[in-house]
Amino acid sequence: MRVCVCTIVHHPEDARILHRQIRALLDAGHEVTYIAPFRACNVTPWREISPVDVPRASGRKRLRALRAAHRALEEHSAYADVVLLHDPELLVSLPRSVRRRTVVWDVHEDTSAALVGKGWVPRPVRPLLRPFVRRLETVGERRHRLLLAEDGYRERFRDEHPVVPNTTFVADLPPAPPDDRRIVYVGHLSEARGALDMIETARLLAPEGVMVELIGAADPQIRPQLRQAQRDGILRWYGFVPNDRALRIAEGAMAGLALLHDEPNYRHSMPTKIVEYMAHGVPVITTPNPPAVAIVEPAGSGLVVPFRDPAAAADAVRKLRADAELRTDLGKRGYETAREQYHWPVHAEPFVTQLEIWAGHRAAAPALPG
């Protein structure tokens, strides 16, 4: 099977796109053409894929990237069995020649709700865009196949669609116990994701010898504060690091932060970073978004702190630092739960099977739920 994968919004080394889905397709013996902003992100593509470079859609500069992606899709979808799209804007004015192929839209987020947290969208415009986004979703569902990243996205669509959850790779053997010196964050940094709260948490903890390590790209509005905090010596900001290497840096930390704000898009989206921390034996400190609480509390894998409360987050870190048995127990239980419930290879095979079915390479019933 030949699969043409395309994104202009996500980093080419996005964990879901590259490290999970494309890796699963390659491991199953399929050919992958990957249309993505390699040069813009200074990325060398994997040898196993056929890369096609396009500009990156960033902020309000999106039209050039969209046109380039559509041209690339017109060319490369001609020999593809499946076209797998990862950005909703790619559905806008999708060329007719591409629409005639088997097109699959991988729904990563609640796009309408996520508009609230996108700094490049002017606040007065955001409510006006929501009806357009809903219309785009309706048309996308009617014309194409859909994969959902969350069970909570089902209610946005009329029909049932298979779910490919954002899980992670979990090692066969338990990781090393947590230390008492570092706390980490892995993921994109924005105000809505708690970046300013983490900077203040770092400021409170730095005099006590605790280093906060933030691993991820940041919104333009956040970068000056991050750079200043790094100059002040209160935290370490790595910038973007590929997911597999980022998690190796995080392993052994005293805690992993997930200080998301109470935003609509986070109320029904599983925070993947929480599962990744657990998979690496890192205790979790999270705000009380329902999906986060639904993972952490039953697993006994971390502590829950109030929204927008850096002092409470710092107190949770102090609690873990003072109690080696507690942090070791939280890390151990998190790892065991992640291994049992969130190991990506369990979902990789049915994901590939579903694409094979849609491409006409299999006649069996869909393996994914929905």
2-165+344-358 topology per CATH:
Rossmann fold (3.40.50)
- Full-model pTM: 0.87
Q: Determine whether domain 182-341 maps to CATH 3.20.20.10.
A: no
Q: Which residues pair with 50 in a beta bridge?
A: 33
Domain boundaries, the chain: 2-165+344-358, 182-341
Report pLDDT for 126: 67
Contacts of residue 24, Cβ cutoff 8 Å, sequence gap at least 6: 348, 349, 351, 352
Q: What does each of the 370 residues of the chain score in pLDDT, given as a tens digit?
A: 999 999 999 999 999 999 999 999 999 999 999 999 999 999 999 999 999 999 998 777 789 999 999 999 999 999 999 999 999 999 988 999 999 999 999 998 776 665 555 655 666 666 667 777 788 888 899 999 999 998 888 888 999 999 999 899 999 999 999 999 999 999 999 999 999 999 999 999 999 999 999 999 999 999 999 999 999 999 999 999 999 999 999 999 999 999 999 988 788 788 899 999 999 999 999 999 999 999 999 999 999 999 999 999 999 999 999 999 999 999 999 999 999 999 999 999 999 999 999 999 876 554 455 5
Q: Which amino acid is at 39?
A: R
By DSSP bridging, strand 284-286 and strand 82-85 are unpaired
| Cβ atoms of residues 41 and 56 within 8 Å | yes
Report pLDDT for 177: 93
DSSP summary character for residue 312: H
Q: Sign of the C-alpha dihedral, residues 245, 249, 254, 257?
A: negative
| Cβ atoms of residues 174 and 332 within 8 Å | yes
Report pLDDT for 26: 98
CA distance 121 to 119: 5
Q: What are phi and psi of 349, to 5 degrees?
A: -65, -50
Report pLDDT for 115: 56
Q: How crowded is the C-beta side of 56, counted as CA atoms within 13 Å?
A: 13
| Cα R_g (the chain), whole angstroms | 21
Q: 182-341: same fold as 2-165+344-358?
A: yes
